[in-house]
Amino acid sequence: MSRIEEISENLETVRAKIAAVADHPVTLIAVTKTFPVSDAQILKELGVTDFGENRDSEGAEKSQLVSGTWHFQGQIQSNKLKSITSWASVIHSLDDPRHFEVIEKVAPHPLTIFLQVSLDGAHHRGGAGVDQLYQLAELVSGSSKHHLAGLMSVPPVGTDPDQAYSQLAVIRNEFMARFPQADQLSAGMSGDYQSAISHGATHVRVGSSILGSRSPHQ
């Protein structure tokens, strides 16, 4: 089986599984981290328009060669933001007001921004606590340039995804009472995107289910 046939088959399976559970529009973000740009080019040929990267260096390179909407979903470092905001249209992992202050200064174009919320308080893995979330939302929603899309989260390691996404749905409902325009939810990866969608995810970030468990070049 050729690489394009392999990716096409996997992509069709993922799209079918999304359709089986979704009762609302869902954006599929193909996560290309550690995979070669040739795979992103194949995805583009197969109709994928949204691509996700965790690393600035990979996103900067691939976005130059493959047109589409590029999403940054890794943990943010202040010194990388000038570069990240040059190629990414969407940031999924804002969790610190200081990072948004840098974004306001260096971003060359308007960004769509998701706030990453921690479900277990382990901030070293990324994510703002619920108490910090509203302060951050006030900051982003007050921007005249950037758009607050909603929330993003990753289930804590070792937890049941259904339980985690049920907890996230409660946080999101309370959040939307204050910020009704921020109605998007970025949640769900290869192992649990159907569960995430059933709990309201509007954006799923899927890599290995489409491209395989690791890069063929690693």
Interval 94-115 mean pLDDT: 98
CATH of the domain at 56: 3.20.20.10
Which are the contacts of 158, defined by CB distance < 8 A and separation ≥ 6?
Answer: none
* pLDDT at residue 8 is higher than 80: yes
pLDDT of residue 92: 98
CA distance 163 to 147: 29
Q: At what angle do helices 37-45 and 56-65 cross, to 10 degrees?
A: 50
Supply the range of the domain harboring residue 167: 3-211
Residue with tokens 């921007």: 143
What is the average pLDDT across 80-95?
98
Of how many residues is the chain composed?
A: 218
The three-class DSSP label of residue 69 is strand
> In which band, very low, low, confident or very high, does the pLDDT at 27 lie, cut at 50, 70 and 90?
very high
Is the pLDDT assigned to residue 63 strictly greater than 90? yes
Mean pLDDT of 51-77: 98
The answer to whether the beta carbons of residues 61 and 82 sit under 8 Å apart is no
Domain membership of residue 216 (yes or no) is no
> Does some domain include residue 218?
no
In this prediction, what percent of the chain has a pLDDT beyond 70? 97
- Distance, CA of 101 to CA of 106 (rounded, Å): 9
Question: Taking the CA of residue 75 as centre, how many other CA atoms within 13 Å lie in the half-sphere pointing to its CB?
Answer: 8
The better pLDDT of the pair 127, 216 is held by 127
DSSP annotation of 30: E
Total number of domains in the chain: 1
Q: Is residue 170 part of a domain?
A: yes
Per the structure block, which two tokens stand in for 83? 């570069």
pTM: 0.96
**CA angle 121–150–29, rounded 5-degree value:** 95
pLDDT at residue 43 greater than cutoff 60: yes
- At 139-196, the pLDDT tens digits run 999 999 999 999 999 999 899 999 999 999 999 999 999 999 999 999 999 999 999 9
**pLDDT-derived band at 123, boundaries 50, 70, 90:** low
Is 217 among the domain residues? no
Report the pLDDT value the prediction gives residue 58, as an integer from 0 to 100.
97
Mean pLDDT for 29-47 is: 97
Q: Does any domain span residue 73?
A: yes
